[in-house]
Amino acid sequence: MIQAFLQRLASWLDRPYFPWKKLVIGFSLAEFALENWLLFRQYRVLQKTTVPKALENEIEKPTFHKSQSYGRAKAKFSFISGLFNQAKSLAVLYFNVYPKVWALAGLLLARYAPARFSGEISQSLLFVYLFGLIDLVFGLPFSYYHSFVLEEKFGFNKMTKKLWLTDMLKGQALTIAFGLPIGSAFLAIIKKTGTNFFYYLWVFMLAVQISAITIYPILIVPMFNKLEPLKPGSLKDAVEALASKLKFPLSELQVIDGSKRSSHSNAYFTGLPWKKKIVIYDTLLEKSSDKEVEAVLAHELGHWKKGHTTNLLLISQAHLFYIFSLFSVFINNGSLYSDFGFHKERPVLIGFLLFNEILSPTDAIIKLVMNILTRKMEYEADAFAVEHGYTAELGSSLIKLQIQNLSSMDADWLYSSFHYSHPILTERLKAMGWTGDKKIVEDKSADEEKSVYAADREL
């Protein structure tokens, strides 16, 4: 029944001379306009000079002003980099860069690769790599500026230029090592399973995700960071006791040297359902008391206890199935390929890229819905920590992170709805019932050296 509906929809959408390119460019411009209107709204909030009333007793004015300045600097960077990326994307679409790079990939394979590497799959993989290389080259100035100018100015960057380059090269190597087999299997499944490919593709991607959850902490993380066991002491005892009380399957408790790259910090858990490990950033240990670190971990364990990680995995799988099944509608759409310069060939990979361009307007809606969901989860994880007696410690740790991160103290409600997966600080403190009556001030010299930012998954 589903397949019959999708086939009818595919026939209806495959219309000669349908202006797919104009439609995609229109979507792209509309999305760009929305993003920058939201950014403008947030920029006006970042120009305020008074501390939000809810934080008057906790945040000093100099800290607030520095936070506002950092927020404005990031907003300006976001606008400039976004404008450049928008211009690049429009140029790629308008000047039919896809067929040109596709032809270049085919030419390189014909001239330099053995005959066994000929064919659509090999050409598709080389096409992806060439496009990735182009994006990498164009993105280098922005990456450099972000790390060594913007972040450096506000005391966050701890990377050397050598480490920056090494990380980039390692990232490229990993892309090739994992991208080639996964990409080959992705395209081969579509080629060999006919019109029902989306069922098989969905199962394959589920297997890839589960494998990644297993492999990432064991193989990938140690390539970039050093991990060592948390030293015996009161914190280790307290965390193990909390994990035991909650029946959390803790197998390892480790510290990661996040400070080698930046003063950003975090704590997270990872692993399979029956065997997990908790990883704490060294910067978090340096800037927080043992009880505050416990509170951070109680929050994270709240996500596990409430099943948030599992729920998000299930939602992502439902979303993937929706994407793959809808892609089956466009995979053989001749008018779509033709409007972007592919008059004789219909490469599967190109079809998938063009399909994603068409689907892009739904990204804003999905992002909004997911933010609503993850905000609810953050409130629940906070409440879990509060129920276990960490109200004061969690509140103070949140404020410390806000100060150390120079995170925005306030936000435009519409901007935050589209961009923040977490509630803003004042909302979280209010929901927790936390009431502070003194300013939380960090040691000034320590602040200059060890400002903390909650990377990956913010607390």
Q: Is 303 annotated as a binding residue?
A: yes
Here the tokens at position 42 are: 């947030």
**Residue 264 marked as a ligand binder:** no
Residue 382 is a catalytic residue: yes
For 263, the 3-state DSSP assignment is coil
378 is in an annotated binding site: yes
Query: Which residue among 151, 282, 300, 357 is the active-site one?
Result: 300
Q: Which residue in the list 294, 382, 410, 412 is annotated as catalytic?
A: 382
Query: SS3 letters for 365-416?
Result: HHHHHHHHHHHHHHHHHHHHHHHCCCHHHHHHHHHHHHHHHCCCCCCCHHHH
Q: 48: which DSSP letter?
A: -
Contact 238, 294 (CB under 8 A): yes
What are 338's strand-pairing partners? Answer: none
Which CB contacts under 8 angstroms, 24+ apart, belong to 321-325? Answer: 321/198, 321/202, 323/359, 324/197, 324/198, 324/201, 324/202, 324/205, 325/2, 325/6, 325/198
Active site (annotated) includes residue 300: yes
Distance between CA 249 and CA 390 in Å, rounded?
21
138-175 per-residue burial string, b: 16 or more CB within 10 A, e: under 16: ebeeeeeebbeebbeebbbbbbeeeebeeeeeeeeeee
Residue 42 CA to residue 416 CA, distance in Å, equals 8
258 is written with which tokens?
A: 């996040």
Q: Which helix (H) or strand (E) holds 268?
A: strand 267-272
Give binding residues for Zn(2+) as ranges: 299, 303, 378
Active site residues: 300, 382
